[in-house]
Amino acid sequence: MERTDTKERLLGATLKLISTRGYLGATTREIAREAGVSELTLFRHFRSKERLFEEVLNTYTFLPRLRELLPELEGLPCDEALMSIGTGFLETLKERKSMVRIMFSEMNTYPEKVRRVHKRFIDETILTLANYFRALQDRGRLRKFPHTTGARAFLGMVFSYFQTEEIVKGRNINKKEMQRTVGEFTDIFLRGVK
């Protein structure tokens, strides 16, 4: 009974290694070494690599915070509310970068498992935002437009920005840059470019 955090260390090491080297590229030997335990311990806790991976997905699944965020935006003007939604979304993505990486890398290895995570996060976020837009339309704060497509559009801008900069280029989007870019996205989304 030497350690109590063995399982957590293994899960963390697996998340790290699979997100950087891919499922096939991350070996159980290396995961164990990264966690500071023997390979045998890995197999004693999780019976196979696949089960280990599954537990990683379950452990680090993330849910959108948008729903909790919305009530706080009640009184705000549209631009400030959207700005807040955009930066909140981007911050969640940054926090869960490893999981986002895995989501799009292991789509082929384990399609159903990964799709579940995607559905829980992306689809849910689009839906929530779309409903929010509809509410704003009903109150006359926004003009009529297809609210689901609108949600897709806004989140798509932010997500693609995250994907190209943080994931593909490996850059870190700092607070200042984030504020600026999301601000510009918001402005375009609200006012249009014409």
Measured between alpha carbons, how far is 22 from 31 in angstroms, rounded to an integer? Answer: 12
Give which of DNA, a copy of itself, none residue 150 binds (C-beta under 5 to 8 Å, depending on kind).
a copy of itself
Measured between alpha carbons, how far is 15 from 155 in angstroms, rounded to an integer? Answer: 25
The whole-angstrom distance between residue 151's C-alpha and the CA centroid of its chain comes to 16
Helix, strand, coil percentages in the chain from 3-state DSSP, rounded to 5 = 75, 0, 25
Please report how close the Cβ of residue 78 comes to DNA at its closest, in angstroms. 49
Give which of a copy of itself, DNA, none residue 58 binds (C-beta under 5 to 8 Å, depending on kind).
none
Question: Which residue, 7, 1, 57, is CA-closest to 35?
Answer: 7
Measured between alpha carbons, how far is 111 from 97 in angstroms, rounded to an integer? Answer: 19
- Residue ranges in 36-107 assigned as alpha helix (H): 39-45, 49-60, 66-69, 78-95, 97-105
Q: Which range of residues in 15-23, 38-46, 56-64, 83-91 is near a copy of itself by CB under 8 A?
A: 15-23
The answer to whether 109 contacts DNA (rule: CB under 7 A) is no
Please report how close the Cβ of residue 14 comes to DNA at its closest, in angstroms. 11
Please report how close the Cβ of residue 166 comes to a copy of itself at its closest, in angstroms. 11
Question: What is the DSSP secondary structure assignment for residue 81, as one 8-state letter?
Answer: H
Measured between alpha carbons, how far is 174 from 68 in angstroms, rounded to an integer? Answer: 24
Binding mask 133-172 for a copy of itself (x = CB under 8 A): x--------xx-xx--xx-xx-xxxxxxx-xx--xxxx--
Give which of a copy of itself, DNA, none residue 143 binds (C-beta under 5 to 8 Å, depending on kind).
a copy of itself
Measured between alpha carbons, how far is 56 from 144 in angstroms, rounded to an integer? Answer: 42
The answer to whether 6 contacts DNA (rule: CB under 7 A) is yes
From candidates 1, 143, 191, 192, binder to DNA by CB under 7 A: 1
From candidates 34, 41, 122, 137, binder to DNA by CB under 7 A: 41
**Complex with DNA: residue 50 or 123, whichever CB lies closer:** 50
Residue 3 identity (one-letter amino acid) = R
The answer to whether 27 contacts a copy of itself (rule: CB under 8 A) is no
Binding-site ranges for DNA (CB under 7 A) = 1-4, 6, 24, 26-29, 36-41, 43-45, 47-50
